[in-house]
Amino acid sequence: MIKTKSNAIPAWVNNLRVLMEKLGLNPRSLSLKAGLNSTAVRDMFEGRSRFPRYDTVKALADALGTTPAVLMSDDEQQAEIQTKGPEYTHDLDLLTEIISRLQETTEELGRKLEPRDFAAMASTIYHRLQMTDEHKKKNKLIGSQIHDLLDYELIRQKRLKR
């Protein structure tokens, strides 16, 4: 039985379990296949990780042969993903990665952004990346663009305080 701190099992945990069972994997084997520590998936099932970092979700999705968007979605979202097709899934995965990495970076740097500023930055990065042609290049650019925008926002906030 999967335990969680609030007894409500998140949809992504159920998705993880179902996908694991289809591939005949146990928590330890999936953890290792995804390049995580051997107890990572077990810890998720036990509620120690209510919403994992994007890089963890991406590693699990890759190991399970799916996408982060599908892994983390509920039934309604999965139906929408299937209806709209692979382009929608790619866009959703890209937006998820941008938002997750932006959030992780702001936390690591100890910066606080207003929701509107956070949304503007995520949107800017997404639109910039949509203009590039190479998918691999996109992933490398996310981090540098996050730092550029955070530096700009810090300068902007300091000027507003003057």
Same domain, 92 and 36: no
Q: Which of 13-22, 28-37, 141-150 has the lowest mean pLDDT?
A: 141-150
Residue 32: is its pLDDT beyond 80? Answer: yes
Mean pLDDT (whole number) for 105-114: 89
Which residue range(s) make up the domain with 95? Answer: 85-161
Q: Which two tokens stand for residue 2?
A: 């999967």
Same domain, 157 and 91: yes
**pTM of the predicted model as reported, rounded to 2 decimal places:** 0.59
Tell the burial category of 118 from Cβ atoms under 10 Å away from its Cβ (0-12, 13-18, 19+). middle
Residue whose C-alpha is closest to residue 23's, from 74, 66, 68: 66
Same domain, 99 and 43: no
Q: How many domains does the chain have?
A: 2
Domain presence at residue 5: no
Residue 116: is its pLDDT beyond 50? Answer: yes
**Spatial distance between the Cα atoms of 140 and 117, rounded to a whole number of angstroms:** 22
Question: Is there a contact between 16 and 63 (Cβ–Cβ < 8 Å)?
Answer: no
